[in-house]
Amino acid sequence: MRASRRRTWTPGPRQAVERALFRNRLYRLSLRGRVPDELAALPGDPWTGDTTRGVRMLDGIWSFAGQTFVSRDGPPWYPEDAAPGWLEAMHGFAWLRDSREVGQAARELARAAVASWISRCAAWHGVTWRADVVARRLLSWLTNAAFLFNGADVAFRRRFLASLAEQARHLARIARGAPDGVPRFATLTGLAVVELALPSLASRLPATLRGVEAELKRQILADGGHVSRNPSALFAVMRDATMLRAALAAAGRDAPDGLNGAIEHTAPMLRFFRHGDGGLALFNGGTEDEPSAIGAALALARSVAKPASHAPASGYARLVGRATTLIVDAGGPAPGLFGAGAHAGIASFELSVGTDRVIVNCGGYEGPDESWSRAMRATAAHSTLTVDDTNACELLPDGMGRVPVAVGAERFEADGASGIEIRHDGYRARFKLDHVRRLTLAEDGLSVLGEERLNGPGGERWTLRFHLHPSVSVALVEDGTAALFRLPSGAGWRLVASDGILSLGESVYLGRRGEARRSWQIAVVGGLNGTETVVRWTLAALGARKGRALKDALAPEPRADGG
């Protein structure tokens, strides 16, 4: 897909005022003060890094948020055409953990990069000096200080601590103005860890912890989900919360009740969104995230609570039949600012069998191309039904316009099977149609029965989409009336619909940040009858012998496109 418009950072009116203030020499002087001789005891970074990316950085290759820049002369702090997401990642320094995984050569690179940043990036910038980015940077520096200090000379340590203290003073002044949602929570947790590490700021800690508790109350729903309905956002908040609690414990301080309660509350909901491979389901801009990091956050949470089968406050349902997991979007868009970037994937579902993902949504795009962002947010990028290629919600660049007024979901049990029925009126304003989707998972996990009802007079055709994970091979069989899937495990599954014409087409999978992979989709298309249209479909496992026989019949596994 070619770029139609690339998002690069340009200052707005507020940034112009901040630039005038924060670049002022007197303001810079006001940040100076006593340089700490040492840091208070803190836990190390509990998250593992990416060795491959660490090695690539040694070669001058810096890849974040779907963009790559190559620099042989040190880190490229402000490359031309860098999108805000790339700048956030580069200046947030979470990549220090990638260097940490590589060894001594990477340690020297990381130390040189920190020294370079101190020398070249002290001037205010609207992205890289935004409150949440400063907090991420300081948290990365603090939790990797032992890695950076090992073998460092006195001059580096002194410059490091001086810059840390100046940035901390600035962060304390701007933290309350951090962008809402996950960035604001990241800002407050980062500031709290900084105040634990620097004795000169310790008196501010109680107020910051009260702010942390207030944000958790705002952002965490009654069932433990995140108000944005994005599983990755939930993971980000829980990861920061567990990190803060570990830092408080290392400092000999008790965590506040609101922090402990939120961690206990969110842990089972994070498990709710996990597939058999340990990664997260792809809803509302979320990505798989790293299973090892999710596992580490759950270990830090020290909660063994199991996930519920229905999360009505978050608007999701989870059906499990032995090794098969089906996760369904059964709610409407998130409210207000928390719905910025939300997807129109209402009634979509994902299916995994064991560690194999089978049916997926296309995922969330974080790069600079706005056409990719629009495409991934569209209803057609999700495994659900569309009418006349129209979105079930009106997508705006930073949120939603027209949204369903009535959305409902009800769990049911029948003969050992479990199911969910979702109803929404997302097509009523334009087509006078309501969509009812009913999904039933067999007790043994070997079949899924689907029923789609479209009630109303409008529209011309419906399209039912099943996006497949890139590791799944597929072919149309029986004169195009059925589709066969072969999973990496060798198991075979068969899809058949009661109406419509099946076709096999290309799709794309953005389950991992910065990576686009080619995949397949099955589309079933049929006409609307002007009253009530009912489509039934079945996805069922084949016997072991038939599954093995599929190997030569199916289309090859799609290749990665490297995007």
Q: Using the predicted structure, report yes or no on whether residue 18 has a pLDDT greater than 80.
A: no
Same domain, 79 and 133: yes
| In-domain check, residue 179 | no
Same domain, 289 and 409: no
Please give the residue that has the higher pLDDT: either 229 or 177.
229
Residues of the chain with pLDDT > 70, as a percent, come to 94
pLDDT at 547: 52
Instruction: Report the distance separating Cα 86 and Cα 205, nearest Å.
Output: 31
Same domain, 140 and 267: no
Q: Using the predicted structure, report yes or no on whether residue 2 has a pLDDT greater than 70.
A: no
Where b means 16+ CB within 10 Å and e means fewer, 359-370 reads: bbbbbbbbbbbe
Residues 336-359 have a mean pLDDT of 92
Which 8-state DSSP code applies to residue 226? Answer: B
pLDDT at 13: 63
Quick: pLDDT tens for 256-283: 999 999 999 999 999 999 999 999 999 9
Please give the residue that has the higher pLDDT: either 220 or 7.
220
Instruction: Report the distance separating Cα 364 and Cα 383, nearest Å.
Output: 14
Q: Using the predicted structure, report yes or no on whether residue 509 has a pLDDT greater than 70.
A: yes
Same domain, 413 and 506: yes
| In-domain check, residue 9 | no
pLDDT at 514: 77
Q: What are phi and psi of 534, to 5 degrees?
A: -120, 125
| In-domain check, residue 25 | no
pLDDT at 275: 98
Q: What are phi and psi of 444, to 5 degrees?
A: -85, 0
Same domain, 336 and 297: no
Q: Using the predicted structure, report yes or no on whether residue 165 has a pLDDT greater than 60.
A: yes
Where b means 16+ CB within 10 Å and e means fewer, 117-154 reads: bbeebeebbbbbbbbbbbbbbbbbbbbbbebbbeebee
| In-domain check, residue 104 | yes
Residues in the chain: 563
Which of 280, 308, 336 corresponds to the end of one domain? 308
What is the Cα gyration radius of the chain? 25
Residues 466-470 have a mean pLDDT of 98
Q: What are phi and psi of 384, to 5 degrees?
A: -155, -165
Quick: pLDDT tens for 529-552: 999 999 999 999 997 555 555 555
Where b means 16+ CB within 10 Å and e means fewer, 291-319 reads: eebbebbbebbebeeebbebbbebbbbbb
Which of 248, 283, 308 corresponds to the end of one domain? 308
Same domain, 54 and 142: yes
Q: Using the predicted structure, report yes or no on whether residue 461 has a pLDDT greater than 60.
A: yes
| In-domain check, residue 195 | no
pLDDT at 46: 87
- SS3 annotation, 391-403: CCCCEECCEECCC
Same domain, 297 and 330: no
CATH number of the domain at 374, please: 2.70.98.70
* Residue 25: pLDDT band with limits 50, 70, 90: confident
Same domain, 323 and 455: yes
Enumerate long-range contacts of 70-75, CB under 8 Å, 24 or more apart: 74/112, 74/113, 74/116, 75/113, 75/116, 75/117
Number of domains within the chain: 3
Strand partners, 70: 61
Q: Using the predicted structure, report yes or no on whether residue 560 has a pLDDT greater than 50.
A: no
| In-domain check, residue 184 | no
Same domain, 357 and 485: yes
Instruction: Report the distance separating Cα 467 and Cα 8, nearest Å.
Output: 31
Quick: pLDDT tens for 382-418: 999 999 999 999 988 878 888 999 999 999 998 899 9
* Residue 3: pLDDT band with limits 50, 70, 90: very low
Tokens (6 digits) for 542: 């084949």
* Residue 355: pLDDT band with limits 50, 70, 90: very high
Q: Using the predicted structure, report yes or no on whether residue 5 has a pLDDT greater than 50.
A: no
Specify the amino acid at residue 62. W
Which of 286, 308, 330 corresponds to the end of one domain? 308
State whether residue 555 is helix, strand or coil.
Answer: coil
Same domain, 323 and 302: no
What range does the domain containing 292 cover?
A: 212-308
* Residue 559: pLDDT band with limits 50, 70, 90: very low
Average pLDDT of the chain, as a whole number? 91
Quick: pLDDT tens for 119-141: 999 889 999 999 999 999 999 99
| In-domain check, residue 13 | no
Tokens (6 digits) for 401: 């316009």
* Residue 513: pLDDT band with limits 50, 70, 90: confident
Quick: pLDDT tens for 229-258: 999 999 999 999 999 999 999 999 999 999
pLDDT at 523: 98
Same domain, 377 and 348: yes
Instruction: Report the distance separating Cα 120 and Cα 133, nearest Å.
Output: 17
Tokens (6 digits) for 402: 């027209």
Same domain, 291 and 322: no
Quick: pLDDT tens for 283-339: 999 999 999 999 999 999 999 999 999 999 999 999 999 999 999 999 998 877 777
CA angle, 44 then 50 then 51, to 5°:
105
Q: Is the dihedral of CA 40, 46, 47, 48 positive or negative?
A: positive
